[in-house]
């Protein structure tokens, strides 16, 4: 068993589903047309593009014309926030304020930091110890200059699922836009742009067994944004560039084949992992027990380094990631774990275990056995643990 790779890093990316791959293949070979071409091969590509748009729109209760294809979550978040800010700047509306949280993905946080250089005022809201945002804090932060509130739906590190409906209602009532980064939550929990009063939503494919490098931004009809890429005017002039048809078709297929049964299965395995991990002495769960992404587990081992645990687990053939995975080059403690009140030491002793629809109970059992051995070994040599 130890020779086989057990992949518990599905929040980073997932294996492409066979059915997705099969759906994509013809669009590299026989059906390679440019969706802007008027001839038959072009029309075939255009048809596939529009069919994919319909599938993705339906999955979030939007209209197809409200879906703009992008290169993924990073571009979607950049397009949403920069696009709105630049539109307001160009139109001289006097609005320059964005409200977000301290637990966003870097593609939101670094976009906001960059916008500050252009004169944006950004409010970075605190979250509670499980990672939930208080809608009342949002309401208090709104001013007459507020353009948009941007809140991550399912957190990529600690799995917290925010109550989008409550936040959406606050935004609608106060006449500000509401954007959510739904890259981790899409197809894993309800995302209904009408019910949850969402104005913009970022989606991507590679977290849901689709290809990398493709995603979508939902923009509610009538909302104006300035494009970042100028060119031939593709995607309603909001995202110029020849559409990546094979990837878009694959994205739509990944959405189409996702199912509620898979979510239930993942929830069961996630809970088994959490219960097993909490039996190890001095282990704490980061993020909530309820309202948690079905594939996410994040724990702190206290006094031993998450990085050390991760590399020892690799000797058992298990791939996980540390809370600071996105910043592993800098070895900086995770901003999300800090935001929920962990010390740098606790944050650096954390491990994220993220499963997928392919995870089996046997793998979970093997993981739990292996992690106990690893923790015991590391605690025996840790100067901090005794």
Catalytic residues: 326
Q: Does 14 bind ligand PLP (CB under 6 A)?
A: no
Q: Does 66 bind ligand PLP (CB under 6 A)?
A: no
Q: Smallest distance, Å, CB 354 to ligand PLP?
A: 10
CA-angle at 242, arms to 79 and 185, nearest 5°: 45
What are the CB-based long-range contacts (under 8 Å, 24+) for 24-33? 24/211, 24/246, 24/247, 24/249, 24/250, 24/253, 25/246, 27/245, 27/246, 27/249, 28/246, 31/245, 33/245
Closest CB to ligand PLP belongs to which residue? 73
Q: Does 83 bind ligand PLP (CB under 6 A)?
A: no
Give the separation between CA 160 and CA 133, rounded to whole angstroms: 10
CB-nearer residue toward ligand PLP: 215 or 276 = 215
Please answer whether residues 186 and 215 qualify as being in contact, where contact means their C-beta atoms are separated by less than 8 angstroms.
no
Q: Smallest distance, Å, CB 368 to ligand PLP?
A: 25
- One of 52, 88, 184, 324 touching ligand PLP (CB under 6 A): 184
The phi, psi pair for 178, rounded to 5°, reads -125, 120
CB-nearer residue toward ligand PLP: 229 or 385 = 229
The alpha carbon of 154 is separated from its chain's Cα centroid by a whole number of angstroms, namely 7
Q: Smallest distance, Å, CB 122 to ligand PLP?
A: 17
Cβ atoms within 10 Å, residue 275: 10
- One of 46, 95, 97, 105 touching ligand PLP (CB under 6 A): 105
CB-nearer residue toward ligand PLP: 152 or 266 = 152
Exposure string of 56-69, with b = 16+ CB inside 10 Å and e = fewer, is: bbebbebeeebbbb
What are the tokens at 112? 């906001």
- One of 66, 181, 199, 235 touching ligand PLP (CB under 6 A): 181
- One of 204, 321, 348, 359 touching ligand PLP (CB under 6 A): 204
Residue ranges in contact with ligand PLP by CB under 6 A: 72-74, 77, 105, 107, 152, 156, 181, 183-184, 204, 206, 215
């Amino acid at each position: 068993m130890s020779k086989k790779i057990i992949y518990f890093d599905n929040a980073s990316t997932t294996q492409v589903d066979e059915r997705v791959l099969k759906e994509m293949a013809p669009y590299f070979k026989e059906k390679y047309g440019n969706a802007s071409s008027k001839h038959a091969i072009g029309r075939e590509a255009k048809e596939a593009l529009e069919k994919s748009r319909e599938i993705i729109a339906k999955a979030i209760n939007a209209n197809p014309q409200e879906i703009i294809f992008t290169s993924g979550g990073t571009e979607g978040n950049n397009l949403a926030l920069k696009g709105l800010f630049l539109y307001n700047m160009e139109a001289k509306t006097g609005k320059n304020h964005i409200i977000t949280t301290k637990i966003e993905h870097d593609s939101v946080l670094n976009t906001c930091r960059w916008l500050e250089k252009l004169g944006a005022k950004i409010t970075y809201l605190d979250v509670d110890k499980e990672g939930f945002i208080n809608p009342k804090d949002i309401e208090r932060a709104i001013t007459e200059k507020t353009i948009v509130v941007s809140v991550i739906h399912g957190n990529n590190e600690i799995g917290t699922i925010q109550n989008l409906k409550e936040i959406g209602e606050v935004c609608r009532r106060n006449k500000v836009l509401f954007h959510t980064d739904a890259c981790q939550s899409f197809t894993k929990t309800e995302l209904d742009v009408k019910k949850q009063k969402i104005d913009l939503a970022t989606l991507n494919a590679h977290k849901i067994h689709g290809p990398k490098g493709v995603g979508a931004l939902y923009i509610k009809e009538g909302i104006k944004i300035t494009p970042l890429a100028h060119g031939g005017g593709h995607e309603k002039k909001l995202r110029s560039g020849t559409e990546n048809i094979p990837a878009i078709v694959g994205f739509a297929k990944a959405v189409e084949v996702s199912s509620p049964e898979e979510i239930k299965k993942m929830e069961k395995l996630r809970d088994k992992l959490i219960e097993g991990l909490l039996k190890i002495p001095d282990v704490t769960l980061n993020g909530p027990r309820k309202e948690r992404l079905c594939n996410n587990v994040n724990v702190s081992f206290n006094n031993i380094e998450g990085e050390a645990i991760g590399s020892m687990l690799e000797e058992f053939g298990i791939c996980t990631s540390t809370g600071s995975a996105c910043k592993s080059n800098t070895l900086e403690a995770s901003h999300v774990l800090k935001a929920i009140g962990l010390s740098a030491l606790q944050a650096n002793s954390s491990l994220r275990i993220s499963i997928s629809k392919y995870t089996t109970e046997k793998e979970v059992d093997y993981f739990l056995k292996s992690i106990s051995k690893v923790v015991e070994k590391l605690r025996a040599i840790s100067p901090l643990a005794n």
